[in-house]
Amino acid sequence: MSVQQHQGFVQPARRVAYEVIAAVRESDAYANLLLPTRIQRAALSTADAALATELTYGTLRMQGYYDLVIAEAAGRPVSAIDPAILDVLRLGAHQLLATRVATHAAVNESVELARQVGSRAATGFTNGVLRTISRSTPEEWRERVLAGAGSADDRLAAEHSHPVWVVRAFRQSLRLEGREDELEDLLIADNAAPRVNMVALPGITTAEETAGLGRPNEYSPVGFMLAGGDPVHLVTDHDGRIRVQDEGSQLAALTLSRARPITPGERWLDLCAGPGGKAALLAAEARAGGAELVANELVPARATLVRRALSAVPGTVPVWELDGTRIAVNHSEEFDRILLDAPCTGLGALRRRPEARWRKLPRDVAELSDLQSGLIDAALGALKPGGLLAYVTCSPHIAESRGIVATAFRKWGDRVRAVDTAAVVQGLSGRPLDLPGDGTSVQLWPHRHGTDAMFITLLERSA
């Protein structure tokens, strides 16, 4: 029985939130892609759209914590609860423990949802569990849940709703910077709604067009924080010349394009260009400096997105659909600059993709590491002697970032030189960044810089 058949019984915002949460579980949907469509289809008001967004993202972010609460309140593990009813309970628990939604509204509408997606018997169970949750304060539930933690990492994982293996990976990466004490700040930042950041493609967008839309970024010189309004409409109104883009992504692309002056006629490659955000910025930079950009994306659907993103930039940017790991076979030593924004776990963007933390597993890191090593090897092969490679991941996991670069150095030896990446980033930044380490790589962090946890390393091929 579908939810839509009973639209009168559940507030539209809650129904939309439930549908997205269920789709994430059932079909591996991406909440950030599906939610806007469902909001539009339901014709939600601005206030209801905001509520649906908060309920969806809040529930998905804190799912791990809510499961511990639900298991305690239900007296059984969540694995023994019907998945559809568990979604209802998670959504209800979020309203009871983290919002100002009235208890009667959270419980009654959750019970109605349970009736629609489950059975009559499920309504009694749902009512009982949520009534139990509502009888204790959020602080009491926190103490109860944390009392069961077996270690410091277990406690952090439970309280801040991250898988334990992700907590340990973050701790390891921060430890390399001597900043292990920032771990909890990072976990808290992952559970906060990110600001809406825009990029204004340089040389194509005028200062008059961006005036009054927001305040300039702290670090990236080509973007701003949106003051308000619908970013989708802003992108459409400017034909993609103004785009939504995290400040960390802007810095990653600019690190390559502004590492040294551009010589007209240079050939650049964006090796894994999908969905095209960094490619559009690189294309604008290449156009301004007289360079030529080629974008490559293996997956046809993502290549379509790249072409759409590049349409904002005057001129033609070729989009190839080649296997990046074999790019050097027919294009050996062809490019002056290459961006390798490698496929990764995305653990650095958990604010924007809250479900990713539950979807990724440690074995994904190992599988992706093989691909990342193959791609960086191919990229170095396609680079001219003296050319620059920017290796970028939206993940701070050491195996996906420093580990891949170390492997490349072992293979390429003195044919590759480390560039002072931190100096390049500091040189283009609007204000100094707090970047501990030896400078050969840059790790951005949500809690320290307000960006995604982007990893950037510049390499120069010396021979």
Rg for the chain, CA atoms, rounded: 24
DSSP codes, 244-275: E--HHHHHHHHHHHTSSPPPTT-EEEETT-TT
Contacts of 40 (CB under 8 A, 6+ apart): none
With beta carbons less than 8 A apart as the criterion, state whether 372 and 321 touch: no
Contacts of 241 (CB under 8 A, 6+ apart): 200, 201, 204, 205, 209, 312
- Residue 11: count of CB within 10 angstroms of its CB: 17
**Coil, strand or helix: which one is 320?**
strand
CA dihedral (130, 134, 135, 139) positive or negative:
positive
Pairing of β 335-341 and β 267-270:
parallel
Check 167, 394, 404, 454 and give the catalytic one: 394
Phi-psi region of 229 (alpha: psi -120 to 50; beta: other; left: phi over 0): left
Asked about 394 being catalytic, the answer comes back as yes
Q: How many helices and strands (H and E) does the chain possess?
A: 22, 12
Catalytic machinery residues: 394
